[in-house]
Structure 1
Amino acid sequence: MQSEINSNYPSIEDLRLKAKKRVPLFAFEYLDGGCNEDVSIIRNTSDIRKVQLQPRYLHNYGESSTKTKIMGLEYDAPFGIAPVGLQGLMWPNSPEILARAAHKHNIPFVLSTVTTMDIERASELTEGKAWFQLYNPVEDELRDQILNRAEAAHCPVLVLLCDVPTFGYRPRDIRNGLALPPKMSVQNILQILGKPTWAFNTLKYGQPTFETLRQHIPEGLNLKQLGYFMDKTFSGKLNEERIKPIRDKWKGKLVLKGVASEQDTLEAIKMGFDGIIVSNHGGRQLDAAQSTISSLKSITKHGDKIEIMMDSGLRSGPDIARAIASGAKFTFMGRSFMYGVAALGNKGGNHTIAITKRQFQQVMDQLCCKRVEDLPKHLLTTN
């Protein structure tokens, strides 16, 4: 692991600052920004970092281990790579880089329906271990076709997204005319010319597209028509009627992502979900939202009925430890890994996983905590 760490970038913030220098502004702002005034994205991390942990030095705890189980699968660390849309726009070929790194380090990689690598390639790179996140189609036939492909690719876990009933109001993306491919305004062209490595890699790997959906998108659509197609084809609104046929058809583990309340947790248990991911979409949907760590507090009491995971706001190994001590069984990060790839290219996935593992291991050792599941014993209760 030590050889995979570039000592010039020992933190996620170091990677973020390097990524900002290598990525056109329109793509970096899509990755880095939240919605409206960015209140939610800032609150997520600041609230996580209010959590305090207490070490116990004077007892014989033995060697600590970062291994953990979730969804019946064992991983080498209690964090995975969250689904991120338009990954190839932010850094060319980034989903492949991250899928390879996740498989090498034995952590889960979650593929988004609207990213720039298809289900089959994700399965190939991870030997059938990639999770798949479904943006639920309006039409049952298309939904079933995508589910059949995920099943054929041996995806062990299907993740349903529930926190995008509408698209967040993102001033930066509106200003930048963000689309796929990006709008070629004079401003955006100048940004691209100023980032030659990004531009060269985009030429090398080709313009990013929604690869999983490629066969379903009519040819020759302009950007406006593609937007209409996506709005017409997918709906982020979920309810029991729309979820039941998915639960009936999908034979693997089923997870609901975007849960932010105890009420929705109880509904998820009732509908037969195996797990939930407490999330507010990385602060990109509702600027008035409660932070994820705050939402988690009212949900953890139901951990004996459903496996509880968390994303949004996590940026380091200590953040992961704080979330698990607060009741999450597992965690995911999205932006952090994208910063890593944008900063370091093909080496960015392995580097980011390696430093996060090392940070988390250090916290475990410092707390004298032998097992990941023992972290809640080190939580300091604060008002």
Structure 2
Amino acid sequence: MKEYFNSEYPSVDHLIKKAKKRMPGFAYDYLSGGCFSEVNLDRNIADIRKVQLKPWYLGDYAGASQKTELFGKTYDAPFGVAPVGLQGLMWPKSCEYLAQSAADHNIPFVLSTVGTADIEKISKITDGDFWFQLYHPAEDELRDKLLDRAWDAGCKTLVILADTPTFAYRPKEIRNGLSIPPRMTLRNIFQMCTHPTWSFSQLFAGAPEFETMKPYIPKGLNMKHLGMFMNKTFSGRLTEAKIAPIRDKWKGNLVIKGVVNPEDAELAVKLGLDGMIVSNHGGRQLDRGQSTITPLQQLAPDFKGKIKLMMDSGIRSGEDVAAALASGADFTFLGRTPMYGVCALGQHGGHHTFEMLKKQLQQVMEQIACAKVEDFPRHLVS
């Protein structure tokens, strides 16, 4: 694979500035925003940056490897692409671009149920090597159809979502008309007209849709009725009674996303789940919740080794990946950062972002004399 790294954008902050210039305001707000006053969104970033690492400067050191084993597969780096809904609204074909980049870099890509590419397309792009994140349907029949499609497409790791029991209150999305049902205001139309690259790319790609869900959506629904249909279709709150039949049916790896307390973690272990992702949905659901690095550090002593322990939300750099690994994570995922890359640089944005993250992480490992990803916890300053 040819390396693609644009030295004009060596950090996520540079990507954010470029992306903001290229995107209509409503699309940028959807990507960057949180819920309520965005307190927890900011806390995610601030708290992970408080983590300190201890270096060793004397003695022999043979170098660092980012190779990471997870569920029997060896990835080239200890991070993957978190599930993101409506990627195509933020940048046309971004779901497909990121899936291809992740496959090229040998890192996991997680497709959301409400992504803008369907299961079968992502399977083709990744040669069946992808994860699928399930929003729990209200009806068992639809649940089983989605699970069968994912399995038949080659997916071996299913992620069930725990941290969206209700629709979030996100003022920016409400003001921009991106609540369900969405509405197109004069301001939004003006923003599209003043961002022609996004608009023409969107015109060429076609309007973003919930592609995986299209076979189950009645034809001819207007946006109001589509919103009502989606509200009725999904039942957000997970329970033991909902998880158990999924565990029985799904023969691959089963991961729960959104665990932040020991009671939920104990239940995940009891139900035979293979992994859990400590997450607060990127600060988009509960503004008064903890940052993700805090419960990760609390859960790691009791659960690391019993179940694969992963984390997302607040990770913006290779340094942040290192901080999460040192705090007890076996693996990490990033949602916004790869999206900023694609929104800034289009088709090459995923490649650039993953190269950037690997370069940053490699520097940290070499600086502190960490030879392997699993050695990070011994470098944590507690």
TM range (shorter): over 0.9
Cα separation, 2, equivalents of 1:180 and 1:10: 36
**Can you list the C-alpha shifts for 1:122-159, whole angstroms capped at 9, x where unaligned?**
11111111100000101011100000000001102000
> Is the partner of 2:319 in helix, strand or coil?
helix
**Can you list the C-alpha shifts for 1:150-206, whole angstroms capped at 9, x where unaligned?**
000110200000000001110000000115895221111000001100001111110
What is the CA-CA distance between 1:94 and the residue it aligns to? Answer: 0.2
Q: Please give the residue correspondences for 1:223-234 in structure 2 after superposition, counting only pairs within 5 Å.
A: 223-234=223-234
For structure 1, which segment, 296-305 or 90-99, has the greater mean C-alpha deviation from structure 2 after superposition? 296-305
Q: Which residue of 2 aligns with 1:23?
A: 23
Q: Which residue of 2 aligns with 1:81?
A: 81
What is the CA-CA distance between 1:61 and the residue it aligns to? Answer: 2.5
What is the CA-CA distance between 1:19 and the residue it aligns to? Answer: 0.5
Q: Please give the residue correspondences for 1:1-383 in structure 2 after superposition, counting only pairs within 5 Å.
A: 3-178=3-178, 183-301=183-301, 302-381=303-382
Contact 2:181 2:226 in 1 (8 A): no
**Can you list the C-alpha shifts for 1:76-124, whole angstroms capped at 9, x where unaligned?**
0000000000000000000100000000000000000001000011111
> Is the partner of 2:258 in helix, strand or coil?
strand
What is the CA-CA distance between 1:3 and the residue it aligns to? Answer: 4.4
In structure 1, runs of 5+ residues without a counterpart are none
Contact 1:113 1:132 in 2 (8 A): yes
> Is the partner of 2:98 in helix, strand or coil?
helix
Contact 1:181 1:208 in 2 (8 A): no
Percent identity, aligned pairs only, is 59
Cα separation, 2, equivalents of 1:72 and 1:256: 18
Contact 1:180 1:209 in 2 (8 A): no
Cα separation, 1, equivalents of 2:373 and 2:305: 17
Cα separation, 2, equivalents of 1:29 and 1:71: 35
Partner AA of 1:338 in structure 2: M
Cα separation, 1, equivalents of 2:286 and 2:181: 26
**Can you list the C-alpha shifts for 1:310-364, whole angstroms capped at 9, x where unaligned?**
0000000000000000000000000000000000001101000000010001101
Cα separation, 2, equivalents of 1:90 and 1:21: 13
Cα separation, 1, equivalents of 2:377 and 2:298: 15
Contact 1:2 1:354 in 2 (8 A): no
RMSD: 1.2
For structure 1, which segment, 56-65 or 349-358, has the greater mean C-alpha deviation from structure 2 after superposition? 56-65
**Can you list the C-alpha shifts for 1:201-256, whole angstroms capped at 9, x where unaligned?**
11111000000000100111111111110110001110110111110000000000
Partner AA of 1:286 in structure 2: L
In structure 2, runs of 5+ residues without a counterpart are none
Contact 1:71 1:275 in 2 (8 A): no
> Is the partner of 2:60 in helix, strand or coil?
coil
Q: TM-score, normalised by structure 1?
A: 0.98
Distance 1:182 1:349, change over 3 A: farther
Distance 1:251 1:162, change over 3 A: same
